[in-house]
């Protein structure tokens, strides 16, 4: 490499010509004379008719007077004489300094210039090339450093959050009590120090009546469990460990109302039976209306205004915690959009990056109610809406289930003046596009809450306030 090739004009240090003249050994100037001694008077010029090459001086004229050292010929540098002999033997004749190649200085300068341009990686390459160009026979060996023995992961990293949360997450095995035992694997987490475990209803539904349930911690310890209560509509269930161990650490609960799209998420579960699996992602969306089946084929759906995440969630993750970057629970993993099943649910198809979690604020209210009474309580408007029709809103049906009135007499909707055929288009400021969306939003509230509904009738839009009623049990 050269400065010409690089295009960088880097001046090199002056050097001796490639073939300097060798002076007679007996007339070498004193060391450094060409650098520090003042210039001697110019000797008389040779007459034109005298030949240019002077005769070799005799020995008697070898040593010039001390006060008149000869000046170096113009444009040339005299090599320094060898040091005086210090050992035995006759003095050695002076040895001329080997000529330096001009290209060597140019190579080093070019490499250094390239190293400055190239930065970190180029710097290392440039240093190697400079050493080689200098003619050094030694080599430089760089040894890889050893990892610190006391390596610690900083708080807030995924590894640190997972390490703290895993001891409070359990893998649930559910088996039905029939002759042909059915069941599956899901996930749950420690809700309180009394041994309550929070999970999905569809995880334990097959064993809820006459079946068996067990919960295995990350340390391998396994405990039998029983159902305290379950809410099919919310897809929430609470278990209680039999002979619960002391020292249980409940996972801290976050505030799902404060979650923002783009926040980091960490999901823990047992996808396809692989316990203690940790995956990461972000909150992809909020208030996503989701209706998911329980896998029984009976058409019983759960409705949620879900947190959407791209953290990898698969069958077996159900009931597990969705954590934020601090390690607080913001949701319960419940459903996935599956390309294999063509819809939302818990089929055996894998994750495509669309997972849905029940917001923890809703799940907490349901769990507390189940622990207290063993049965869920749902807020209602007292009207039956069409759950299959998508007509730009939630249309109140002409007739209720089993021939009952679609608008319950004396109920919240009736008091607000709603009638069969009305199409509810807004819930507060949120646009309603279908019946499942309306139910999902209603169930984020509690009985007694006052909400604002906007509906259309005969092309006219009306807004009314409705105080939610309640329904106990599924």
Q: Report, as residue numbers or ranges, the catalytic residues.
A: 202, 235, 318
Q: How far apart are CA 311 and CA 351, in angstroms?
A: 9
Tokens for 1? 């490499």
CB half-sphere exposure, 14, CA atoms < 13 A: 3
Beta-bridge mates of residue 230: 237
Where helices occur in 396-456 by DSSP H, the ranges are 412-415, 435-442
- For residue 20, which of 74, 103, 96 has the smallest C-alpha distance? 96
Cβ-contact 307, 254 below 8 angstroms: no
Distance CA 257, CA 255 (A): 5
What would you measure as the largest C-alpha separation in the chain, in angstroms?
142
Asked if 445 contacts 437 with a C-beta cutoff of 8 angstroms, the reply is no
User: Could you give the C-alpha distances from 80 to 12, 23, 34, 71, in angstroms and in order?
Assistant: 21, 11, 9, 14
Cβ atoms of 407 and 381 closer than 8 Å: no
CA angle, residues 458, 460, 464, in degrees to nearest 5: 115
Helix (H, G, I), strand (E, B) or coil at 281: strand
Bridge partner residues of 321 (DSSP): 332
* Cβ 355 vs Cβ 310: under 8 Å: yes
Rounded to an integer, what distance in angstroms lies between the CA atom of residue 394 and that of residue 404?
19
Q: Which of 317, 344, 348, 311 is nearest to 333 (CA)?
A: 317
Residue pair 285/261 in contact (Cβ under 8 Å)? The answer is yes
Q: Which of 447, 474, 458 is nearest to 466 (CA)?
A: 447
Nearest to 273 by CA among 235, 318, 241, 309: 318
Any idea how long the chain is? 474
CA distance 435 to 394: 4
Look-up of token digits 């400021």 = 429
55 Cα distance to chain centroid = 85
The rounded distance, in Å, linking the Cα atoms of 11 and 306 is 69
């Amino acid at each position: 490499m050269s400065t010409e090739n690089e295009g960088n004009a880097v001046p090199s240090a002056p050097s001796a010509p490639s073939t300097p003249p060798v002076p007679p050994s007996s007339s070498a100037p004193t060391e450094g004379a060409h650098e520090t001694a003042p210039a001697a008077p110019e000797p008389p010029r040779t007459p034109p008719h005298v030949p240019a090459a002077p005769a070799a001086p005799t020995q008697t004229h070898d040593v010039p007077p001390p006060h008149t050292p000869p000046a170096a010929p113009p444009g040339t540098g005299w090599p320094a004489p060898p040091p005086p002999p210090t050992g035995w033997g006759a003095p050695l004749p002076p040895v001329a300094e080997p000529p330096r190649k001009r290209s060597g200085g140019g190579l080093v300068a070019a490499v250094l210039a390239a190293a400055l341009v190239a930065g970190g990686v180029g710097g290392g390459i440039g240093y190697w090339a400079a050493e080689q160009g200098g003619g050094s026979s030694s080599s430089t060996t760089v040894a890889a450093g050893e990892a610190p023995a006391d390596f610690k992961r900083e708080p807030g990293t995924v590894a640190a959050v997972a390490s703290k949360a895993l001891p409070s997450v359990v893998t649930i095995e559910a088996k039905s009590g029939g002759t042909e035992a059915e069941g599956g694997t899901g996930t749950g987490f420690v809700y309180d120090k009394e041994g309550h475990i929070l999970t999905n209803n569809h995880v334990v539904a097959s064993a809820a009546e006459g079946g068996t349930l067990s919960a295995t911690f990350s340390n391998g310890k396994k405990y039998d469990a029983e159902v305290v209560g379950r809410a099919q509509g919310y897809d929430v269930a609470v278990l209680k460990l039999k002979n619960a161990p002391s020292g249980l650490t409940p996972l801290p609960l976050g505030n799902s109302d404060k979650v923002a799209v783009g926040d980091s998420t960490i999901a823990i579960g047992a996808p396809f039976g692989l316990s203690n699996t940790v995956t990461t992602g972000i909150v992809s969306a909020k208030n996503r209306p989701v209706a998911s089946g329980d896998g029984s084929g009976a058409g019983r759906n759960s409705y949620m205004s879900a947190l959407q995440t791209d953290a990898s969630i698969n069958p077996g993750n159900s009931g597990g915690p969705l954590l934020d970057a601090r390690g607080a629970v913001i949701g319960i993993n419940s459903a996935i959009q599956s390309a294999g099943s063509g819809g939302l649910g818990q089929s055996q198809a894998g994750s495509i990056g669309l997972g849905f979690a029940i917001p923890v604020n809703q799940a907490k209210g349901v769990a507390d109610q189940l622990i207290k009474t063993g049965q869920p309580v749902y807020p209602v408007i007292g009207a039956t809406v069409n759950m299959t029709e998508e007509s730009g809103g939630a249309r109140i049906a002409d007739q209720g289930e089993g021939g009952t009135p679609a608008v319950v007499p004396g109920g919240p909707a009736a008091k607000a003046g709603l009638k069969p055929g009305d199409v509810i288009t807004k819930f507060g400021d949120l646009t309603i596009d279908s019946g499942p969306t309306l139910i999902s939003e209603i169930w984020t509230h509690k009985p007694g809450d006052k909400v604002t509904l906007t509906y259309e009738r005969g092309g006219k839009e009306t807004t009314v306030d409705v105080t939610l009623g309640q329904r106990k049990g599924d």
